[in-house]
Chains A and B, each alone.
Chain A
């Protein structure tokens, strides 16, 4: 079942702007992972953040995790047309950190 809920469902921005999307979840987690999917293809892993971490960076990506609010955010800075994709958060429970529950996703469109 889906545990994560992404917000917003869709986002349209101009190239060069930042894009922020949020993920909320309901139960305790072991870790939270963000993925990107281009046009119905496979998922590309972006970042994994563990429950004892608050922030991680990878290139133009910044992920935060607030376990007290059961929420995470993904920030893409200086967006490019190639960032146009759907972004999903996936949570793993403490009892079985292999078993991911995916949110509904945020569709990001970057306009040139």
Chain B
């Protein structure tokens, strides 16, 4: 497995502002993802964070609203831009393809999440 950390763990923000969430993993991984979990709901994939290139967004999510960076194999950021109360959710990063010696695993692990409240 891998140890995944997210910063901040929670935040309360004013509408119209932006928040950048960081995700750090302690192993090299091939894939990193960002999910959103709205209150009382299941997880929805926002995008795949691609190293060194633009993220791949799922239907309903756009780069202007959720810009993502992934400068290397162990780190990614998600920015929630121009926030509104509807953006209040838990945001989770996940990783897949953890390097295990010469091989890469196929289990997806999740970070602890960032609980965002927008007033």
A interface residues (Cβ-Cβ under 8 A, vs B): 2, 31, 33, 35, 40-45, 48, 88, 90, 97-105
Report how far A33 CA is from B111 CA in the complex, Å.
16
Report how far A92 CA is from B44 CA in the complex, Å.
14
B interface residues (Cβ-Cβ under 8 A, vs A): 1, 4, 31, 33, 37, 41-45, 48, 90, 92, 94, 96-97, 106-113, 115
- Nearest-neighbour CB distance to chain B for A55, whole angstroms, equals 18
Q: Once the chains bind, are A45 and B42 in contact (CB under 8 Å)?
A: no
Interface of B, helix, strand, loop or mixed by DSSP: strand
Cross-chain pairs A/B with CB under 8 angstroms, 24 sampled: A2-B44, A40-B115, A42-B4, A42-B110, A42-B113, A43-B110, A45-B107, A45-B108, A45-B109, A48-B106, A97-B106, A98-B33, A98-B48, A98-B108, A99-B45, A100-B43, A100-B45, A102-B42, A102-B43, A102-B44, A103-B42, A104-B41, A104-B42, A105-B42
Number of A-B contacts (CB under 8 A): 55
Q: Once the chains bind, are A42 and B106 in contact (CB under 8 Å)?
A: no
- Nearest-neighbour CB distance to chain B for A82, whole angstroms, equals 18
